[in-house]
């Protein structure tokens, strides 16, 4: 069995992936000095649309943000939620509190026995999903930053 040293493990850790996304979002936030310039600018430019979009038939298609400004706000919001936690929801309580409340009736029905292998598989499933989402968000934040630099440098956003 191959053993990984600390540097290799750290490279593949959840904290590393989270830190890369937060760093990319911070770089985006520091670079984009006037976010309102992003309004009504399409998210994808024609030249890089094919290279950035990796449309796999197995992935569900979600509606894309209409412009770069909405995408900027989305990335910034996700970063804030990661750093500060989820704010109180309309239902009264945090997302974590709501999840615990939803689990309570299920635990009462099944008794006190908790199926550990099931929890482990759920954890690994969600961890894998989190890695994938954070990696994609990091790429999107970097792309938005580079596109903003390119557009501002070319002056096409300033009309």
Q: What is the domain extent for residue 134?
A: 6-48+62-154
pLDDT at 55 over 90: no
pLDDT in tens, 60-100: 444 554 789 999 999 999 999 888 887 654 445 544 555 55
CA distances to 105, 119, 144 from 100, rounded to whole Å, are: 10, 14, 36
Structural domain contains residue 20: yes
CB-based contact 156:38 (threshold 8 Å)? no
Domains in the chain, number: 1
pLDDT in tens, 14-54: 999 999 999 999 999 999 999 999 998 887 765 444 444 44
> pTM of the predicted model, to two decimals?
0.65
Q: How many CB atoms lie within 10 A of CB 80?
A: 14
Structural domain contains residue 95: yes
Q: What is the mean pLDDT of residues 123-140?
A: 94
Q: Which of 6-20, 83-97, 130-144 has the lowest mean pLDDT?
A: 83-97
């Amino acid at each position: 069995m191959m053993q990984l040293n600390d540097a290799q493990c750290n490279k593949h850790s959840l904290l590393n992936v989270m830190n890369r996304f937060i760093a990319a979002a911070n770089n985006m936030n520091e670079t984009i000095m006037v976010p309102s310039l992003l309004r009504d600018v399409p998210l994808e430019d024609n030249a890089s649309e094919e290279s950035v979009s990796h449309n796999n038939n197995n992935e569900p298609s979600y509606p894309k943000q209409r412009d770069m400004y909405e995408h900027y706000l989305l990335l910034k919001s996700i970063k804030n939620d990661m750093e500060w936690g989820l704010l109180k929801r309309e239902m009264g309580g945090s997302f974590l509190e709501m999840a615990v409340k939803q689990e309570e009736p299920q635990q009462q029905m099944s008794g006190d026995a908790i199926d550990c292998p099931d929890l482990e598989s759920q954890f690994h499933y969600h961890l894998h999903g989190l890695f994938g989402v954070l990696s994609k968000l990091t790429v999107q934040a970097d792309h938005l930053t580079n596109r903003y630099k390119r557009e501002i440098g070319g002056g096409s956003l300033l009309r």
